[in-house]
Amino acid sequence: MMTKSKVKCWEVFKCNKLECPAFHSKNLNCWLFTGTHCRNEIQGKFIDKVEMCINCEVFVKNMDSGAMAETCGIFNEQIKEYRRIVDERDRELENMSMELALAMSEVFEALKKISSGDPSVRITEKSDIDLISRLKHMINLTAREIGEIVDQSHEFAISLAEYFDVLHKVSKGDLSARVTGTSSIELLESLKDVTNKTIISIDREISERKSAVRQLQKIEALKSSILRTIPHAVVGLTKQKIFFANEGLKKVFGWNPEEVIGRSPEILCRSTKDYQKICRQIHSAIDKSKFFTGEFLLRRKDGRDIVCMISASPIENKTKNNRIVLVYEDITERKQAEKELKNSREQLRCLSAYLHSAIEQERKFIAREMHDELGQLFTVLNIDLAWLERKIRTNHKPIRMKIESMKEMVESGIKTIQKVSTELRPGLLDHLGLTAAIEWHTKEILKNKSIKYNLELNISDELFIDKDISTAIYRIYQEALTNIIRHSDATLVNIYLKKDLENIVLEVTDNGRGITREQIENAKSYGLTGIRERVYLLGGTLKISGKPGKGTTLKVRIPLTKKIEGYSACRKRIINYVNNNI
């Protein structure tokens, strides 16, 4: 059954999908008939396809004479095609073998010349066989490259000799040696550039290293000098063992440095408990802030206890290696001096308190004596003058004028006595209290001054205020008001006195020039020093502030229920000190 259309074998032989793998396949179209899918792809698959159909029972069963004839015709055509292809291949192989033999002979001859040292040989590259053309081209290319290598080998030898000479000089320490020759070979020029740059880099690195070594030696010498001359003990620790100690260790602890190397710093402590406590504090602080300072009671080699300031810091800012440097400063004498200074300061404060108390007592005594004795004397004198005036019958004018003059002088003396006694110790402070005394003093001292004032006194139960507190606040107020009049150029003063919980608060503010920080801290500001001492002795606080051109504020806060040490207690301490030391 012949057909031009693309029929399939299973359509001719009436096969089905269960018996033939080509059944209904889109890719396995029949090869037996002209015009079918497989007809043009028969090469290389013919025998396999024939064998597949011959072994197919359906094919054999259904094949008729027409189909067999066509199949045999196809077999004959295919055999003829195979024979033609084989003949062509035989001719091609014969021609190829001849050309290949000639080409290989030519190639071997060229290789022989090249191997004997003649890289100038060349062979014709043209050939019908692509492989032979490529082989000849490769031979010619190899010959050219070998020729170039031979030409360059002499230049390489000369250049490399210079390189070896320069490198030999460098190895002997001559870092001024350089490769100077020029070459047309890019590789040699690059090698020269790299070599010279490397030598320069090595020279620079060695110079920097030598400089660093010299600097390190200077630092080491300076460090050794410092460690030798420093009066403190310097100890290096690693894993809780001493690996370094300076000469200051002998001065502070009495130990020679070589005696403590390899030992625990516990030998510098009074007990194991003290040592463990110090270690905990040091490591805790170093873990947080990388530095530690603290005062501890330690023990010398001779058994004497000393107070040391210990400064600890990790070496190289790392604590993982447990390397720590410790500096022990003997501050025993300083602590003793601080203690004595503190005692002296307390004694001076007590003396100041005693003097304030004594002055107040003397003021009170003198004021009372002046008021009682001199006042009484002037009063009697005034009465006597009045009696004398009545007894004199004469109208002698000079005598009358003299008596009047004496009476005026007596009146003036009485007023002066009253004024002085009041300034020494205002009776209002003792009889009417703090607020009355402050109000009277404000009016009295500012009555002839061009300074206005606002007075706010808010204390209702001042009878319960201690006399020492009342006196101190009054004297502080006197000093503050005096400073305003003398130094501030103020035109307005605000005075506040109030009770704040368990404190009494005095605040004085003016609008003057404003006190400066230097004036507040000036040791010669005796008035402010006196105010500070009074406040301190009563356990209070003092705040003084000022702004240029905007005035000054003085604020005192004194507790009503607690005093650090009263005047009477200080008086007892002064008396005891005098009795014991004089």
> Is the confidence at residue 18, as pLDDT, over 80?
no
| CA–CA separation, 27 and 44 (whole Å) | 17
Cα angle value 171/177/182 (rounded, 5°): 120
User: How many angstroms separate the first and last alpha carbons of the chain?
Assistant: 156
Contact 459, 500 (CB under 8 A): no
Stronger pLDDT, 537 or 431, i.e. the higher one: 537
Our measurement of the distance from residue 154's CA atom to the centroid of its chain's CA atoms, rounded to an integer in Å, reads 64
What is the helix (H) or strand (E) element at residue 357, kind and residue range? helix 332-369
> Do 341 and 437 belong together in one domain?
no
Phi and psi torsions of 550, nearest 5°: -120, 0
Domain boundary among the residues 396, 425, 454 is at 425
**Average pLDDT in the 384-397 region?**
73
> Do 474 and 580 belong together in one domain?
yes
| pLDDT interval class at 39 (50, 70, 90) | very low
> Is the confidence at residue 120, as pLDDT, over 60?
yes
The encoded tokens of residue 490 equal 């103020």
The encoded tokens of residue 257 equal 């440095």
> Is the confidence at residue 523, as pLDDT, over 80?
no
Q: What is the pLDDT of residue 222?
A: 65
Range among 83-87, 144-148, 152-156 rated most confident: 83-87
What is the helix (H) or strand (E) element at residue 66, kind and residue range? helix 65-115
The encoded tokens of residue 67 equal 């189909």
Partners of 507 in beta bridges = 496, 555
| CA–CA separation, 231 and 328 (whole Å) | 9
> Could you read off the pLDDT of 411-421 as tens digits, one per residue?
888 777 767 76
Share of the chain above pLDDT 90, in %: 13
**Average pLDDT in the 315-327 region?**
71
| CA–CA separation, 432 and 444 (whole Å) | 17
> Do 270 and 364 belong together in one domain?
no
> Is the confidence at residue 548, as pLDDT, over 70?
yes
| CA–CA separation, 89 and 431 (whole Å) | 150
Domain boundary among the residues 398, 425, 452 is at 425
> Is the confidence at residue 34, as pLDDT, over 60?
no
| pLDDT interval class at 496 (50, 70, 90) | very high
Phi and psi torsions of 274, nearest 5°: -60, -40
The answer to whether residue 144 sits within a structural domain is no
| pLDDT interval class at 147 (50, 70, 90) | low
Type of residue numbered 101: A
| CA–CA separation, 144 and 204 (whole Å) | 44
> Do 289 and 391 belong together in one domain?
no
> Is the confidence at residue 38, as pLDDT, over 50?
no
| CA–CA separation, 417 and 362 (whole Å) | 16
Q: What is the pLDDT of residue 411?
A: 81
> Is the confidence at residue 36, as pLDDT, over 50?
no
Type of residue numbered 335: K
Q: What is the pLDDT of residue 268?
A: 92
Q: How many CB atoms lie within 10 A of CB 483?
A: 21
Q: What is the pLDDT of residue 266?
A: 92
Q: What is the pLDDT of residue 415?
A: 77
Domain boundary among the residues 38, 72, 100 is at 100
| pLDDT interval class at 28 (50, 70, 90) | very low
Question: Which of 36-40, 327-331, 517-521, 525-529 is predicted with the least confidence, judged by mean pLDDT?
Answer: 36-40
The answer to whether residue 337 sits within a structural domain is yes
What residues have CB less than 8 Å from 370, skipping those under 6 apart?
A: 417, 420, 421, 424
Q: How many CB atoms lie within 10 A of CB 125?
A: 15
Q: How confident is the prediction for the chain on average, in pLDDT? A: 75
> Do 418 and 438 belong together in one domain?
no
Burial of 515 (0-12, 13-18, 19+ CB in 10 A): buried
Q: What is the pLDDT of residue 284?
A: 86
What residues have CB less than 8 Å from 536, skipping those under 6 apart?
A: 349, 564
> Do 380 and 503 belong together in one domain?
no
Q: How many CB atoms lie within 10 A of CB 416?
A: 13
> Could you read off the pLDDT of 271-306 as tens digits, one per residue?
999 999 999 988 888 887 778 889 999 999 999 999
What would you measure as the largest C-alpha separation in the chain, in angstroms? 203
> Is the confidence at residue 21, as pLDDT, over 60?
no
The answer to whether residue 552 sits within a structural domain is yes
- Length, in residues, of the chain: 582
> Could you read off the pLDDT of 69-97 as tens digits, one per residue?
666 666 667 667 767 777 776 666 666 66
| pLDDT interval class at 198 (50, 70, 90) | confident
> Is the confidence at residue 35, as pLDDT, over 50?
no
Question: Residue 281: which CATH number?
Answer: 3.30.450.20
> Do 270 and 411 belong together in one domain?
no
Contact 212, 206 (CB under 8 A): no
Cα angle value 143/149/153 (rounded, 5°): 150
Question: Residue 552: which CATH number?
Answer: 3.30.565.10
| pLDDT interval class at 223 (50, 70, 90) | low
Q: Residues 171, 175, 180, 186: what is their CA dihedral angle, to the nearest 10 degrees?
A: 70
Q: Is 534 helix (H, G, I), strand (E, B) or coil?
A: helix
Q: What is the pLDDT of residue 216?
A: 74
The answer to whether residue 139 sits within a structural domain is no
Question: Which of 14-18, 41-45, 89-93 is predicted with the least confidence, judged by mean pLDDT?
Answer: 41-45
What residues have CB less than 8 Å from 467, skipping those under 6 apart?
A: none
The answer to whether residue 152 sits within a structural domain is no
Q: What is the pLDDT of residue 65?
A: 57
Read out DSSP for 450-482?
A: S-EEEEEEE-S-GGGS-HHHHHHHHHHHHHHHH
The answer to whether residue 166 sits within a structural domain is no
> Do 18 and 65 belong together in one domain?
yes
Q: Residues 507, 510, 513, 515: what is their CA dihedral angle, to the nearest 10 degrees?
A: -10
Stronger pLDDT, 430 or 245, i.e. the higher one: 245
> Do 451 and 569 belong together in one domain?
yes
The encoded tokens of residue 408 equal 């005026």
The answer to whether residue 29 sits within a structural domain is yes
> Do 418 and 307 belong together in one domain?
no
Share of the chain above pLDDT 70, in %: 62
Report how many domains make up the chain: 4
> Is the confidence at residue 12, as pLDDT, over 60?
no
> Could you read off the pLDDT of 334-351 as tens digits, one per residue?
888 888 888 877 777 677
Using alpha carbons, list the distances in angstroms from residue 172 to 166, 224, 363. Answer: 10, 35, 99
**Average pLDDT in the 448-455 region?**
88
Contact 568, 357 (CB under 8 A): yes
Domain of 543 in residue numbering reads as 432-582
| pLDDT interval class at 553 (50, 70, 90) | very high
> Could you read off the pLDDT of 252-275 as tens digits, one per residue?
999 998 999 999 999 999 999 999
> Do 576 and 558 belong together in one domain?
yes
The answer to whether residue 182 sits within a structural domain is no
> Is the confidence at residue 471, as pLDDT, over 80?
yes
> Do 322 and 387 belong together in one domain?
no
